[in-house]
Every structure is written in C-alpha cells, then in structure tokens.
Amino acid sequence: MRILLTGGAGFIGSHISLLLLQKGFDLVILDSFVNSSTNVIKVITSYVEKKSSKCNLKIINGDIRDRNLLEKIFIDSIKDSKPIQAVIHLAGLKSVADSVLNPLGFWDVNVCGTNNLLETMSKNECYSIVFSSSATIYGLPDSLPIREDHKVSPINPYGETKVAIEKMLEGLYKSNINLWRICSLRYFNPVGAHPSGLIGEDPIGIPSNLFPYISQVAAGRREFLNVFGDDWDTNDGSGVRDYIHIMDLSEGHIAAIDYLTSKESCFEFINLGSGKGYSVFEIINQFELSTGVQIPFIIKGRRVGDIAKCYADISKAKNLLNWFPKRSLEEICLDGWNWQKNNPNGYIL
Ligand code: NAD
Ligand code: UFG
C-alpha cells in the first residue's frame, strides 16, 4: 500500500516514516525542509536497509501549497501502478509564538496547504486521510481528563488553524457521506525519541518545549531550565501535561491507517496521549532519576498563554483503534536522553 506522508522529515514524521517503512509500506514523503534536515532521510534509509532489505521510499522536496507538484505526485504514482491510497498529513507550522506574530503565514501553510491537498486527493480519487491535530484546540479545559466531545476553543492562531482544518475535513465528509475515511488525531505532548538513538527531536534555535529544553540542559548546551510558574493550581504548582512517547504516537498512526482501511467511510476525532498528567517538577525528577544527570532550574513567571493542566481521556483511541500507549515516562526520559547524548548537535552528520 502506498502512503503519502506530508511533513515526513519532521520530528513526528520521521518516527512515523521509520515505522511505516519497517512495516513494508510503500512511502512517498513530501517535505519542504523548512523545519527539518535532509540528513534525517539518510538516517532513516540506512536504518531500514540494515534491518530489512527493502526500503520503498521516495522523497519529494516541495511545498504542500504547490498545487502542480501535488498533482504530479498523485499522477506519477498512478503511472507507476502504485496509486496513493492514503495520506498522513503532518506538514505545517507549529510554533504557537510564531503564530501570534504571523497569523496569516499560519493560515496560508496550514489551512490553504491542507485545502490544496484535499482538492488534489479528491481529484485523484484518494479518499483516506489521517490528520495531525492538537490538544491545543481545547484551549482552557473545563473538565479533566479531556474527552473528544469537550468544547473546542483555541486561544492562539495556531490552534485556530487546526480547528479550521478539522471543520474543513468534517464538511468534506458530510458532502458525500459514503466516500471519505478521515481520522483527525489530536496529539497531546509527543516527546522522547526512537530507542535506537538515531532519530529524535531536533528543534531549530532555542527549544520552546519542555523536553528538548531539559535534554539540552542535560547535554550542557544550556545552563539551566526556566520553570514557567510554580503557582499554578496543580499538585506542586508547576504545569501539568500529558506526555506521550513518540513511538506510541507513531503506532497510533498505523492503527489509524488500519482503522480507515477497514471502513467504508468514517470521520473521527481521536485523542492520542498517555492519559496521565505529569508536572514540570515530576518530569525533572524522573529525568534525573532515569539518566543520573542533574537538571539545574530556576523559577520564572508564568508563560503567556499557558494553562495549569491538560491531559487526555484516551478511551476512544483504545476502543476504536485498539491502540494504547505502552511506554513509561522512564522510557521517554531514557530514549530522549539517548538521542540527545548521541547527537548533541542534532542531525549534523
Ligand atoms: P515539525 O516541524 O518537526 O515537522 C513538520 C514538517 O513539515 C517539517 O519537516 C517541515 O519542514 C514540514 N513543512 C512545514 N511546512 C511545510 C510546507 N508548506 N510544505 C511541506 N512541508 C512543510 O513538527 P512536528 O512536531 O513533527 O509536528 C508535525 C505535525 O503535528 C504538525 O502539523 C503539528 O502542528 C502537529 N502537532 C505537533 C505537536 C508537537 O508537540 N510536536 C503537537 C500537536 C500537533
Ligand atoms: N515549560 C517550562 N519550561 C520550558 C518549557 C516549558 O516550565 O522551558 C512548561 C510549560 O509552562 C508547561 C509544560 O512545561 O507547563 C509543557 O510545556 P511545552 O511547551 O512542552 O508544551 P505545551 O503543552 O505548552 O505545548 C505543546 C506544543 C503545542 C501543542 C501542545 C498540545 O508546543 O503546540 O503541546 O499538544 F499544541
């Protein structure tokens, strides 16, 4: 089965790519490399070739907003007698802070890019898509754990683009109820790395997320961690989030593809998280315990736009996809540290 994976060179996409290739899928990656390195592709290819003989991978360096290119990708696949049967759509911009500064850029890439992709899929009779949505769409949660039927109320332009895309997908599904197979996966906080230590998260510049920041402190690239607030309404005053191992999240995509292909048509929003909430202090403690490396920190004021607690109800994913997260917080810390330690400067080969 041939799958088009947009954004396949990014943090999440690289882990999904590896898994899909290992499972024998025929994969086409479309990525503009605006937030990733071409080196990740070399690492993935050599890993898969070492473990199994075949690596059915085609890389296209391009933009999801380029309609002619998208059209060519679908047509070329049909000509190869390997039509694209499903799309996993990850390509997009994700920095919340950037979205506040440049909302139009976010609407252009995320929303217009997705519109382009869906039109091309429709034209070429590819009707199965897994989309990467985000827990950010829930905004300030009224109740925890968050279920998929919780109200959607994003508090930044990034989240608004995700909601707009979900609405676009819903409208498309309703336009012809027997045609489309759609899963919108709402990720909580994907962290950690592949257990090989060969691929992982490689943020450009100063990391804005907790885990890569802690890893860089551990590696000596940064002096200390800033803890954004110790006065939140949580067990110890620091922010609580639902951290999910990147390999568990990646397996969720395989389960979603299996689910879609078993259906005549469907449209589902599904949370992917661990279902557990951990505070910043709990993460620091677990990281130190697992790796033996101390993480110096200082307490700073609250970060603008942050919330106290956010964690998922994952029963829908368990029931519908027969998927559940298998890896512990300890494995998250060990695998994340293994990647950082082996690649202190990321994908510089
Ligand atoms: P990432 O930035 O590492 O990966 C995104 C990839 O898309 C990059 O390789 C980038 O080069 C590519 N890209 C960006 N714009 C493109 C364009 N116009 N055309 C083609 N390629 C383009 O991000 P990630 O963490 O892997 O996230 C993947 C998806 O998951 C994103 O849509 C993001 O919004 C969503 N998501 C991420 C998180 C998270 O915490 N990482 C949480 C929830 C949702
Ligand atoms: N934090 C710190 N110091 C840091 C970074 C983060 O104390 O240097 C704290 C935050 O205040 C928060 C927690 O660690 O309490 C987690 O913060 P992250 O930035 O790692 O994660 P967020 O939950 O704020 O946001 C992330 C992505 C969003 C996505 C969301 C839900 O950045 O794009 O997860 O999936 F929408």
HEC string of 176-242 equals CCCCCEEEEEEECEEECCCCCCCCCCCCCCCCCCHHHHHHHHHCCCCCCEEEECCCCCCCCCCCEEC
Say what the pLDDT of residue 349 is. 62
pLDDT in tens, the chain (349 residues): 999 999 999 999 999 999 999 999 999 999 999 999 999 999 999 999 998 768 899 999 999 999 999 999 999 999 999 999 999 999 999 999 999 999 999 999 999 999 999 999 999 999 999 999 999 999 999 999 999 999 999 999 999 999 999 999 999 999 999 999 999 999 999 999 999 999 999 999 999 999 999 999 999 999 999 999 999 999 999 999 999 999 999 999 999 999 999 999 999 999 999 999 999 999 999 999 999 999 999 999 999 889 999 999 999 999 999 999 999 999 999 999 999 999 998 998 6
Residue with tokens 């075949």: 54
Q: Give the SS3 label for residue 145.
A: coil
Q: Quick check: is 203 in a domain?
A: yes
Pick from 5, 132, 199, 310 the residue to mutate for probing ligand 1's pocket: most ligand atoms within 8 Å of its CB.
132
Q: Quick check: is 11 in a domain?
A: yes
CATH number for position 117: 3.40.50.720
Q: Quick check: is 349 in a domain?
A: no
Pick from 4, 16, 29, 31 the residue to mutate for probing ligand 1's pocket: most ligand atoms within 8 Å of its CB.
31
Q: Quick check: is 46 in a domain?
A: yes
- For the beta carbon of residue 24, count every other beta carbon within 10 angstroms: 11
Q: Is 192 in the pocket of ligand 1 (CB under 6 A)?
A: no
* Paired sense of beta strands 243-245 and 225-228, if any: unpaired
Q: Quick check: is 347 in a domain?
A: no
- Domains of the chain: total: 1
pTM: predicted TM-score of the whole model, two decimal places? 0.98
Residue with tokens 């510089």: 348
The ligand placed nearest to the CA atom of residue 249 is 1
* Residue range(s) defining the domain that contains residue 172: 2-342
Which ligand 1 atom is nearest residue 31's CA?
A: 21
Residue with tokens 């086409």: 28
Q: Is 11 in the pocket of ligand 1 (CB under 6 A)?
A: yes
The ligand placed nearest to the CA atom of residue 36 is 1
CA–centroid distance, residue 294 to ligand 1 (Å): 30
Is 187 an annotated catalytic residue? no
Say what the pLDDT of residue 53 is. 66
Q: Give the SS3 label for residue 30.
A: strand
Say what the pLDDT of residue 274 is. 98
* Paired sense of beta strands 189-191 and 243-245, if any: parallel
Pick from 4, 11, 112, 137 the residue to mutate for probing ligand 1's pocket: most ligand atoms within 8 Å of its CB.
11
The active-site residue out of 47, 158, 173, 347 is: 158
Q: Quick check: is 348 in a domain?
A: no
Q: Quick check: is 166 in a domain?
A: yes
CA–centroid distance, residue 213 to ligand 2 (Å): 10
Task: Measure the CA angle with vertex 60, ends 55 and 65; round to 5°.
Answer: 145
Cα 285 to chain centroid distance, Å, stands at 25
Q: Quick check: is 59 in a domain?
A: yes
CA–centroid distance, residue 90 to ligand 1 (Å): 5
Say what the pLDDT of residue 52 is. 76
Gyration radius (Cα) of the chain, Å: 20
Residue with tokens 């899909």: 20
Q: Give the SS3 label for residue 131.
A: strand
